[in-house]
């Protein structure tokens, strides 16, 4: 899980994070990206939810 403090901009599009341009963690790899670069959602099977 990548700490929020390590990331100032989206590594995919280069957008600068701010109060309005929020950080999102990928649940698969743990990296931080913006909402626009992470539009896909998956269902996590119940047995993997802790």
pTM greater than the 0.85 cutoff:
no
Q: What is the DSSP letter of 44?
A: P
> CATH for 1-39, among 3.30.40.10, 3.40.718.10, 3.40.30.10, 2.10.109.10?
3.30.40.10
Cβ within 8 Å of residue 24, ≥6 positions away: 32, 33, 34, 35, 38
Model confidence over 1-50: pLDDT tens digits? 899 999 999 998 999 999 999 999 887 788 899 988 887 766 667 777 66
Cβ within 8 Å of residue 27, ≥6 positions away: 42, 44
Q: What is the DSSP letter of 17?
A: P
Could you tell me where the beta strands, DSSP code E, fall in 5-49? 23-25, 32-34
């Amino acid at each position: 899980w990548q700490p929020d403090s390590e990331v100032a901009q989206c590594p995919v599009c280069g957008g600068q994070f701010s109060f309005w341009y929020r950080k999102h963690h990928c649940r698969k790899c743990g990296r931080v990206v913006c909402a626009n670069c992470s539009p896909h959602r998956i269902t996590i099977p119940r047995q993997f939810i802790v």
